[in-house]
Chain A
Amino acid sequence: MAPTDTPYLYIRLRRRACVRKGSIVRLGDIAQMIVEPACEAALQELVIHRPQPADGNRILIDMMLIVRKIKAQHPQLQIEHFGEPHVLLEIVSGRKRPPVVLIVLVWLLLFIGSGLAIMNFHADVSMLAVHRRIYELITGEEKARPLILQIPYSLGIGAGMVIFFNHLFKKKFNEEPSPLEVEMFMYQENLNHYVITEEYNKIHEGERERS
């Protein structure tokens, strides 16, 4: 049993943190801590890293580095950490919002592209022949252009997509995320996973060169 007067530091790193370009990374920016009030302010302000331009815009800060820095200043502290042993730092260079022209271009790209895609799909599965057939089966008469079927069909495509993405009745139904939000999250997670693995490799290589 450790003597009760050993000061403990409980620390949890954030998963991601954003830092402005050129600013210094302090411990308070990247972690939550519980520690006795005497050292708290000093720890919050503890400089962990000074981003260099050569580091790129993503930096991995490892728990080992943080422990080394803390021990250098407060050797008596006993460190207990929760959660992930690293934090992914993103250096943001105060980028402006994308220009309106770009947004309009992307909008048109998606608009025309998905219109083309649905027409391709219809040609692929001979949708017109199927529509004629359904119209004939239901009403008993043949018609070259069964518009009474096709116009609701077209509107239905929009309704189906809206239902799937659940954007319009999000609040009404429930708080479960829409597939798009899940997809965005998965993309970000995969990206982070990749970056973290790569950065660890770099750290290991750096250590091997030094030793």
Chain B
Amino acid sequence: MIADVLVWLGIAFIGLAGGIAVGSGMVAFLVVLDIIPRLCQLTRSCKQIHIYEAAVVAGSLVFTWFDLSDVHVHLFALGAGVVGLFAGCFVGMLAAALTEVINVLPILAKRVGMGPYMLSLLMAMIMGKVFGSLFEWLIYE
């Protein structure tokens, strides 16, 4: 009996520890990429940043719960489309924020003298992402 409780407590402790590690990692990842400040800056809503923080925490919690508990929401298929659009937007911002993307362009601009063509080169990257992704889902898989 006591051994059972001890094992149970141990497992719960491991779960909690893992959750804390993953959760703080998630927050650190978002902080490093500066996506939330960027959205605040664009929408001029820096005072509401606490709501956005809550959104990130709530999203992580809700989706973890859905995933683990196997709840089904039985929405129509287009609902999945809406979720997909938002998910894609988020991944797009992640991709744009990664420094590897952002650091290449200034060097190209200086070294190859392509300063005036920055916008079209940026569009090349963006369209590359979109078509790469579409190609993967429509043809490759």
Contact = CB atoms under 8 A, between A and B. Distances in A.
A140 B72 contact: yes
Interface size class of B (residues with CB under 8 A): 35 or more
B110 A149 contact: no
B84 A150 contact: yes
Interface in A83-110: 95, 97-98, 102-103, 106-108, 110
A95 B111 CA distance: 12
Given A115-B128, A116-B132, A128-B141, A187 B42 contact: no
A112 to B, nearest CB: 6
A114 B128 contact: yes
Contacts, number: 229
Nearest to A169: B42
B47 interface: no
The main secondary structure of chain A at its interface with chain B is helix
B132 A118 contact: yes
Contacts of A8: none
A98 B92 contact: no
B79 A138 contact: yes
Nearest to B72: A140
B121 interface: yes
A88 B102 CA distance: 26
Contacts of B132: 114-119
B128 A148 contact: no
A164 B88 CA distance: 13
A161 B95 contact: yes
A39 interface: no
A108 B85 CA distance: 26
Contact of A148 (B71, B84, B94): B84
Nearest to B92: A160
Interface of B: 34-35, 38-39, 41-44, 66-67, 70-97, 101-110, 112-114, 116-122, 124-138, 140-141
Ranked nearest first, the 8 interchain pairs of A and B with the lowest CB-CB distance are: A156-B88, A160-B92, A115-B132, A114-B128, A164-B96, A153-B88, A157-B92, A153-B84
25 contacts: A102-B112, A107-B120, A110-B104, A114-B126, A117-B95, A118-B129, A118-B133, A119-B140, A135-B80, A136-B72, A137-B66, A140-B74, A149-B81, A153-B87, A154-B130, A156-B84, A156-B85, A158-B92, A161-B96, A164-B38, A164-B93, A174-B42, A180-B118, A184-B105, A187-B103
Given A117-B129, A139-B76, A159-B85, 7 more contacts: A113-B128, A114-B129, A121-B91, A157-B88, A180-B102, A180-B105, A180-B118
